[in-house]
Chains A and B, each alone.
Chain A
Amino acid sequence: MNLTIKNVQKKYGDTEVIKNLDLEIESGELVSLLGPSGCGKSTTLFMISGLEPITSGQIFFGDEDVTNLSADKRDIGLVFQNYALYPHYTVLRNVMFPLLNKKIDKATAEKQAMEVIRAVKLEDHAHKKPGELSGGQQQRVAIARAIVKKPKVLLLDEPLSNLDAELKVKTIMEIREIQKQFGITTIFVTHDQQEALAVSDRIVVLDRGVAQDVGKPNDLYRKPANSYVANFIGSPNINLFESEIIDGKIQGLEELIDGQIKIEDGLYEIGIRPEAFYLDANSKFTIDPTSREILGRDILIYAKIKDVDMRLIIRNISENNLDENNNFKVKLEDVLIFDKETKMRIDHE
């Protein structure tokens, strides 16, 4: 089922939380709503669920306008941040609950529930209460409960934020697998870019109620719409600084970047990702590192370049090796240039 959000706006009193959001999600797609807390991502999710009324605009599931349908009539699956499992019911009863409410007979409901419980690999725990399960298992029960009724849309509200790092990675993969297996159109709300990058077909970056960018994970990383998105996506953060570009050369970084930037002379906001730097003995560009951090295989270097504190990540290198080499390069295509006023990215190739 494809999903269309048309010009949706949400106001609490005079505060505009969502400003004219437009979004098309294709059938079977997994789209993340990514943004810092307070950006309106959960509000958007709850508006799609019908639990939160919208101020203006329309929401369509397929061709059906569901804008004025209440949550119980929208046929959605919703997974809450804190799972919200019914603590007095067993896992099986939790998963059966939506089916029984739809007046499906008990035997059929039990059969369908068990199928989904098997899909989330909890068949050994079907008769336990949620309190007896680990966080990750509870999360899977919540997912099973959400998908058992074969919803048109599956909505996940920060489903991983209560899990520890190791479990997160595992659960991300499981969610992805289940979502593919059932082919459910899914919206995934998160503040964690790594989760979003790992799991999504496309990502919507939200900030202060405005969709800053919509795109595939790799496109958001390589060609962000603006410097806000460039800064939000990628870890550690991109190096952002203002600089004059004259004759296609960033002033002070002439030796760092080969080739000419095809852009008018002027003052721009420049973005270079830490991992865009690489060692090149032929380069005349050297730095004066202030400190280093060993990240296992890679090394993170802090240095002042053009009076700006920058981060450089050099891949696959030992400290000794780095002591002997201090000549760096950045490829022209890895330089992001943004308009100083509008912050929008400008193509320069």
Chain B
Amino acid sequence: MNNKTINGSRRAYYFIAPALILITIFTIYPIFNAFYLSFQDPRGNLSLSSYEYVLTSSVFWKAVKNTLIYAVVVTPISLSLSLVISYMLSLKIKFQNTFQTMYFLPYVTSTIAIGSVFAMMYHTNYGVLNGILTSFGLSPIGWLTDPKYSMLAVIIFGIWKSLAFNILIMFTALQGIDENLEKAALVDHASSLTIFLKVKVPQIYPVVAYLLVIDLIYNFKVYEEVVSLFKGNAGIDNSAMTMVYYIYQQFYTIHDFSLAAVGAVMLLIIVGLLTILNKFVSKRLGGN
């Protein structure tokens, strides 16, 4: 009996071995290797010199600041907008399917491609955004050419891009709510706003909490948005520098692997802290 169980679990290990080997090679090894790299100086000796360099670099701290601003601004705005839009999509309206497709489309389109379109929309002289601004008598903004507005441009693009996935998940969750709840609320004299805020939204809190974590972590990895908007740099004077862009730059442009590894470790620490915080918060919420 006991023997059988042991044999059984041995067989189970054979079955998971292929996955384990792949994870070891492509996930676990790189993590440890990054740590190892981060403690190497240019001559290959163990040292803290890379940390010293990165942590005193103004570009790195600009990257941290930009990344924090991006994640903290994009995540809640995107989640709130998604909530409202997914709720409107879940109502029985005309052309419901058309609207759904429209909102889900960005999810299946490449960031680089949309980024090129956004870059055109942001163009100082010919862009549609400045066209709108000037038609209201406002002066045009150098979205991509004025360092002051670089991050704003990335943030707007980021919000727009992250809507699709959030809407998709929230829409599905809203569809899953017992429709009798809404009928009961209607009979109970609830207004549309009350039905939305006090009856429907609480039912999808777990999904919103899940998206909050996913989005926050995802947004800390902002990179493609910068590349596609600024066509291969991080904006004028690194004004749109982000942590992942910094890592990329150290690795592929400057070829200092140790500095890139330090950047990666720092990002890992931030995301790790976030994950712990999230565990703590969701425990407090008790899954309600």
Contact = CB atoms under 8 A, between A and B. Distances in A.
Interaction A to B: yes
Given A82-B178, A82-B180, A72 B203 contact: no
A145 interface: yes
Nearest to A87: B203
Contact of B180 (A76, A84, A101): A84
Contacts of A80: 180, 183-184
Contacts of B198: 86
A149 B202 CA distance: 24
A77 B187 contact: yes
Interface string A260-290: 0000000000000000000000000000000
Contacts of A77: 187
A101 B187 contact: no
A71 interface: yes
Nearest to A82: B180
Interface residues of A, number: 21
Contacts of B191: 101
Contacts of B189: 72, 98, 101-102, 149
B184 A78 contact: yes
B178 A72 contact: no
Main secondary structure of the interface of B (DSSP, over half): helix
Contacts of A78: 183-184, 187
Contact of B187 (A76, A82, A85, A86): A76
Nearest to B201: A88
A49 interface: yes
Given A84-B178, A86-B181, A101-B194, A71 B187 contact: yes
A78 B199 CA distance: 17
A302 interface: no
A221 interface: no
A148 B203 CA distance: 24
A97 B180 contact: no
B188 interface: yes
B132 interface: no
Contacts of B186: 51, 70-72
Contact of B202 (A82, A88, A97): A88
B190 interface: yes
Contacts of B180: 80, 82, 84
Contacts of A71: 183, 186-187
Given A86-B199, A87-B203, A88-B288, A72 B190 contact: yes
Nearest to B178: A84
B181 A72 contact: no
Contacts of B190: 72, 97, 101
Residues of B in contact with A, size category: 10 to 19
A70 B192 CA distance: 13
Nearest to A74: B187
A49 B178 CA distance: 18
A102 to B, nearest CB: 5
B73 to A, nearest CB: 29
A72 B288 contact: no
Nearest to A73: B189
B173 to A, nearest CB: 14
Contacts of A72: 186-190
A98 B188 contact: yes
Given A82-B178, A101-B194, A51 B203 contact: no
B169 to A, nearest CB: 19
Contacts of B205: 88
Contacts of A101: 188-191, 194
Contacts of B178: 82, 84
Interface in B179-226: 180-181, 183-191, 194, 198-199, 202-203, 205
A78 B186 CA distance: 10
A70 to B, nearest CB: 8
A105 to B, nearest CB: 15
A149 B189 CA distance: 10
A106 to B, nearest CB: 14
Nearest to B181: A84
A35 B186 CA distance: 27
A343 to B, nearest CB: 37
Contacts of B194: 101
A87 B194 CA distance: 15
Contacts of A51: 183, 186-187
Contacts of B183: 51, 71, 78, 80, 84
Given A78-B184, A86-B202, A149-B188, 7 more contacts: A72-B186, A77-B187, A80-B180, A85-B184, A88-B203, A145-B184, A145-B188
17 contacts: A49-B187, A71-B187, A72-B186, A72-B190, A77-B187, A78-B183, A78-B187, A80-B184, A84-B178, A84-B180, A84-B181, A86-B198, A86-B202, A87-B203, A88-B202, A101-B190, A102-B189
Interface of B: 178, 180-181, 183-191, 194, 198-199, 202-203, 205, 288
Q: Which 7 A-B pairs have the closest CB atoms?
A: A84-B180, A98-B188, A101-B189, A88-B202, A84-B184, A78-B187, A80-B180
